[in-house]
């Protein structure tokens, strides 16, 4: 993948997604001693960055079919929730049928939206990895296309448009901090940032309850990890053993950090109280890393707030306690 | 005031304020049957639209002093909180000294920021009207300039830039719904919208705990009302008897609606659960009016979410209950 794929993705998805704001956080800047700006993909269509990859996938398929979805056209995907919601939205908008496999315990806020967009929702898997396995088996049995939520060039190129916007809005950005689940977002951002300027540092952040990239990078190869429950549900799970994101992260990402649960919860609270921004756990791990004292190479630090699909009751409970 | 003042204001404040997003709300659109977009001044610098007027006032003063604040330059203002915070920010940034009178019971979230920007904060008045009276007396005694938070041409022209952005981003907008306190925001929006297109309907919304404009419009002249406590603290209080906003609202605003407390609370909750947007009570009254079934002339409805300075504990309590 190179920058021309990212420009193509941007052109394809422009009618469907938002150019989200990059806002200065005076509170987090004061607390951390660096200049912090937040890239609010929490305000993206479908309330997560996943809309970018999803619309790029769906629009690219339509291009191949000359603007008409083929009668038999059916996509299958697996998702912790946000990718499924975004792809369901894009598929409905562009007239493509979709089957989505998710963990049974994914947040209601996410599952309800998948069903509402008319996708065939199968929320039955015990874990994210099981959902992925079931989706791939279903696709191969039915001879239809499996769309990985992270290991797919159109998904990654769509996610990479986040980096273009950050750098255009803030040409002097020095460090970009990015949540890491399957690695699609950070792969796209790192490829695009590297193409624009090799000096931009890209840091990844995982929940330490699900340290798939941290462990695999240390081992030098994809390594299975134990996954514990985490408030960053959108990041939980092992990566697909065939994923293309592992090599991209290994090549282009400066390092991947782990943050504990307590610090992710504190980050969700800090975003509400300091910046009046709602983020889900997965969306707040970049802020958690800063609150944990993560060192950045530069002083101009953009933090990607990747999504805001958190159940309201859970948010109320979180911000109602003071740590 | 005319549109050229608004263009001048926009140019003056551009380096200091954000062009805030105008985002489609699928949830509110489904609930109301009209196409609803939210103008997120809740994400403005200082977390309210007040930054626009404040920077316009401060920058206009610097222009008159040829870029140098006069040694003896001192401004005095009164505020329910947001204007004071925004003007303190602008004054600090541009090197102007400021005294701010507020009600003693204004939210901590607002008062802390005023003090943090180095303004001389006097949070001693029993009510908003008392704060206004004290500020005017102080200004006249000390022979310095009193800046009304709403009845000042530079404040109104700054606020009017909100309308320019809405109409540029959505040329087919038919109705704009705006919170009404002292009437500065809605005066600016109505003047600008009227200049661009006389067909755009501008609706104002007050808390029925503080129905100053509703009552005065019905009476045909400024009429004092009883003010009860309201979660829309930013809107509470009688207007200055000399305000220029009353005539502007009478001429250009289609009508002013009242919303009950319960409905404002429900609007704050709906913004969190449907759109993942944090708003203070005053910022949510436009959504409250829609939830109450307010009829609009058009189907393309922009709602100004004017601010998000709500204490976190109060927000947690609000969204933790389900109405």
Residues A131 and A10 in one domain: no
Instruction: Work out how many domains chain B is built from and give that number.
Output: 2
Residues B43 and B62 in one domain: no
A127: nearest Cα among A103, A148, A108: A103
A271: nearest Cα among A229, A310, A239: A310
Contact assignment for B21 to A18 by CB distance below 8 Å: yes
Taking the CB of residue A163, how many other CB atoms lie within 10 A of it? 30
The token duo for A292 is: 């944990």
Of B18, B269, B320, the CB nearest to A21: B18
Q: How far is A275 from chain B (nearest CA, A)?
A: 8
Percent of chain A scoring above 90 in pLDDT: 91
Residues A256 and A111 in one domain: no
Please indicate if any CB of chain B lies within 8 Å of the CB of A121. no
- For B:178-207, CB contacts with A below 8 A are none
Please indicate if any CB of chain B lies within 8 Å of the CB of A316. yes
Specify the pLDDT at position B108.
87
Contact assignment for A272 to B313 by CB distance below 8 Å: no
Specify the pLDDT at position B197.
92
What range defines the domain where residue B108 resides?
51-147
Residues A56 and A40 in one domain: no
Instruction: Report ipTM (2 d.p.).
Output: 0.86
Specify the pLDDT at position A73.
78
Specify the pLDDT at position B71.
54
- DSSP secondary structure letter of residue A240: P
Residues A118 and A82 in one domain: yes
Non-local (6+) Cβ contacts of B251 within 8 A are: none
Give the residue-averaged pLDDT of B258-284: 97
With contact defined as beta carbons under 8 Å apart, do A101 and A131 qualify? Answer: yes
Higher per-residue pLDDT: A89 or B65 = A89
Domain termination residue (choose one: A120, A147, A174)? A147
Residues B237 and B108 in one domain: no
Residues B44 and B157 in one domain: yes
- Residue A191, domain CATH: 3.40.50.1100
Residues A29 and A57 in one domain: no
Give the residue-averaged pLDDT of A174-195: 97
Please indicate if any CB of chain A lies within 8 Å of the CB of B117. no
Specify the pLDDT at position A71.
54
Could you tell me which residues are beta bridge partners of residue A39? A22, A304
Report the alpha-carbon distance of residue B211 to residue B119 in Å, rounded. 31
Residues A65 and A95 in one domain: yes
Collapsed DSSP state (helix, strand, coil) of residue A19: coil
Q: Between A and B, how many residue pairs show a Cβ–Cβ distance under 8 A?
A: 58
Specify the pLDDT at position B39.
98
Taking the CB of residue A120, how many other CB atoms lie within 10 A of it? 14
Domain termination residue (choose one: B113, B132, B147)? B147
User: How high is the mean pLDDT of chain A?
Assistant: 94
Cβ-Cβ contacts under 8 Å, B43 against chain A: 21, 23, 40, 276-277
Q: Outline where chain B has alpha helix (H).
A: 3-13, 26-32, 50-64, 82-94, 108-116, 128-142, 153-169, 184-196, 212-219, 245-252, 261-275, 281-291, 312-320
pLDDT in tens, B75-121: 999 999 999 999 999 999 988 899 999 999 999 888 999 999 999 99
Report the alpha-carbon distance of residue A85 to residue A87 in Å, rounded. 6
pLDDT in tens, B1-43: 889 999 999 999 999 999 999 999 999 999 999 999 999 999 9
Residues listed for chain A: 323
Specify the pLDDT at position B72.
60
Give the residue-averaged pLDDT of B307-322: 91
pLDDT in tens, B127-157: 999 999 999 999 999 999 999 999 999 999 9
Domain termination residue (choose one: A126, A147, A168)? A147
Give B174's pLDDT tier (boundaries 50, 70, 90). Answer: very high
Percent of chain B scoring above 70 in pLDDT: 98
The reported pTM is 0.91
Residues B287 and B205 in one domain: yes
B187: nearest Cα among B205, B202, B175: B202
Specify the pLDDT at position A64.
81
Residues A161 and A12 in one domain: yes
Specify the pLDDT at position B73.
78
Contact assignment for A21 to B42 by CB distance below 8 Å: no
Instruction: Pick the residue from chain A with its C-alpha nearest to B38.
Output: A43
Report the alpha-carbon distance of residue A21 to residue B45 in Å, rounded. 12
Specify the pLDDT at position B65.
76
Contact assignment for B278 to A276 by CB distance below 8 Å: yes
Residues B66 and B168 in one domain: no
Where is average pLDDT lowest: A310-319, B63-72, B176-185, B208-217?
B63-72
Strands A201-207 and A175-179: parallel
Q: Where would I find the beta strands (DSSP E) of chain A?
A: 22-24, 35-40, 74-78, 97-103, 120-125, 145-147, 175-179, 201-207, 255-259, 300-305
């Amino acid at each position: 993948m190179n920058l021309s794929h990212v420009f193509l993705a941007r052109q394809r998805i422009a009618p469907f997604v938002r150019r989200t704001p990059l806002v200065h956080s005076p509170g987090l800047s004061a607390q951390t001693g660096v200049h912090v700006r937040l890239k609010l993909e929490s305000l993206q269509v479908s309330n997560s960055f996943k809309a970018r990859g999803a619309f790029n996938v769906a629009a690219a398929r339509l291009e191949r079919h000359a603007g008409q979805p083929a009668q038999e056209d059916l996509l299958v995907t697996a998702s912790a929730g946000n990718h499924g919601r975004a792809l369901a939205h894009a598929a409905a908008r562009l007239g493509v049928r979709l089957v989505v496999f998710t963990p049974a315990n994914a947040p209601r806020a996410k599952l309800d939206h998948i069903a509402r967009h008319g996708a065939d929702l199968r929320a039955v898997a015990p874990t994210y990895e099981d959902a992925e396995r079931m989706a791939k088996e279903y696709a191969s049995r039915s001879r239809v296309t499996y769309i990985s939520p992270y290991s797919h060039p159109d998904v990654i190129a769509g996610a990479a448009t986040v980096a273009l916007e950050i750098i255009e809005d803030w040409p002097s950005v020095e460090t970009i901090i990015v949540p890491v689940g399957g690695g699609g977002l950070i792969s796209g951002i790192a490829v695009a940032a590297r193409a624009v300027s090799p000096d931009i540092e890209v840091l990844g952040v995982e929940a330490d309850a699900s340290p798939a990239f941290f462990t695999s990078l240390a081992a030098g190869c994809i390594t299975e990890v134990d996954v514990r429950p985490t408030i960053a549900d959108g990041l939980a799970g092992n990566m697909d053993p065939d994923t293309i994101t592992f090599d991209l992260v290994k090549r282009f990402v400066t390092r991947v950090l782990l943050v504990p649960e307590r610090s992710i919860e504190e980050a969700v609270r800090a975003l509400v109280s300091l910046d009046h921004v709602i983020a889900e756990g997965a969306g707040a791990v970049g802020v958690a890393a800063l609150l944990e004292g993560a060192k950045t190479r530069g002083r101009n630090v953009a933090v990607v707030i990747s999504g805001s699909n958190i159940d309201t009751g859970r948010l109320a409970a979180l911000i109602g306690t003071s740590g």
